[in-house]
């Protein structure tokens, strides 16, 4: 189904029947992607006395309990409430769900023993484009990202001045295929998170960071429309399903 979207006085044509899903699903197995030193998610029949919520166990319905952490177990979108003392809910701060997005691919560079995304890399790829949403795919990009166990591996991250550049371009929604935009163990500094949300200035309450996406190699770098939907949890972060649409 083709449709036309008007965005900032321009018209864009997309085909809604050709979604490009860049989310990672949550599965109740040890092979589920994971980070931050906790167990795998669990999806199990609810048990209460002689009731087992599974048709295969004799119940009339499937009635499953789900245990997971949005930050650790799959694609999630977070607001500034992730790092603020004041409660901020992604469900209250994200009010629009379609954005013009730019997809870029970066091979993080090595600095002081870490793999990092730098300001110079971003400037070279973006050429000062100012998309509302920025989708970063890191290299290498194998399907192992769908089940990688990231705890204690020091994954790549975005250094502070690179994130300031992203913020100053006017990017409001950042999506990346890593467990965090910050270094895994940074003594709680969270420099990239704080830079993105302008934490020590006029805080960008409507801005979001989406982590743990997976952008297949078949999706070329370039401009897309992004549909960013989150589950309606009153929490700093929620499972999400970002979907790209090619502009025709």
Count of C-beta atoms within a 10 Å radius of residue 200: 8
Q: Are 177 and 216 in contact (CB under 8 A)?
A: no
pLDDT surpassing 80 at residue 1: no
CA angle at 35 for the pair 29 and 41, rounded to the nearest 5°: 30
Q: Where are the domains of the chain?
A: 2-24+70-246
Question: Would you place residue 85 in the very low, low, confident or very high pLDDT band (cuts 50, 70, 90)?
Answer: very high
Average pLDDT over residues 57-78: 97
**Fold for domain 2-24+70-246?**
Glucose Oxidase; domain 1 (3.50.30)
Q: Are 116 and 147 in contact (CB under 8 A)?
A: no
The whole-model pTM stands at 0.96
pLDDT digits (tens, 9 = 90+) for 173-187: 999 999 999 999 999
Q: Are 246 and 224 in contact (CB under 8 A)?
A: yes
Token pair belonging to 24: 């990672």
pLDDT digits (tens, 9 = 90+) for 128-175: 799 999 999 999 999 999 999 999 999 999 999 999 999 999 999 999
Question: Would you place residue 8 in the very low, low, confident or very high pLDDT band (cuts 50, 70, 90)?
Answer: confident
Q: Are 165 and 129 in contact (CB under 8 A)?
A: no
CA-wise closest residue to 233 among 69, 22, 86, 24: 69
């Amino acid at each position: 189904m083709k449709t036309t979207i008007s965005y900032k006085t321009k018209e864009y044509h997309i085909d809604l029947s050709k979604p490009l899903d860049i989310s990672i699903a949550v599965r109740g197995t040890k092979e589920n992607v994971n980070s931050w030193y906790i167990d795998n998610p669990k999806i199990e029949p609810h048990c209460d006395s002689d009731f087992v919520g599974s048709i295969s166990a004799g119940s009339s319905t499937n009635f499953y309990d789900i245990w997971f952490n949005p930050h650790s177990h799959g694609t999630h979108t977070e607001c500034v409430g992730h790092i603020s003392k004041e409660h901020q809910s992604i469900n209250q701060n994200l009010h629009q769900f379609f954005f013009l997005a730019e997809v870029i691919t970066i091979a993080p560079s090595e600095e002081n023993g870490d793999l990092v995304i730098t300001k110079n890399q971003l400037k070279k790829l973006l050429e000062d484009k100012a998309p509302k949403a920025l989708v970063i795919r890191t290299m290498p990009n194998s399907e192992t990202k769908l089940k990688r166990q990231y705890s204690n591996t020091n994954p790549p991250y975005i250094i502070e001045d690179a994130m300031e550049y992203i913020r100053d371009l006017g990017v409001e929604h950042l999506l990346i295929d890593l467990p965090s935009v910050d270094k895994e163990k940074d003594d709680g500094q969270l420099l990239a998170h704080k830079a993105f949300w302008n934490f020590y200035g006029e805080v960008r309450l409507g801005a979001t960071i989406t982590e743990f996406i997976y952008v297949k190699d078949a999706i070329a770098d370039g401009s897309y429309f992004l549909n960013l939907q989150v589950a309606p949890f009153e929490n700093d972060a929620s499972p999400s399903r970002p979907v790209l649409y090619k502009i025709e």
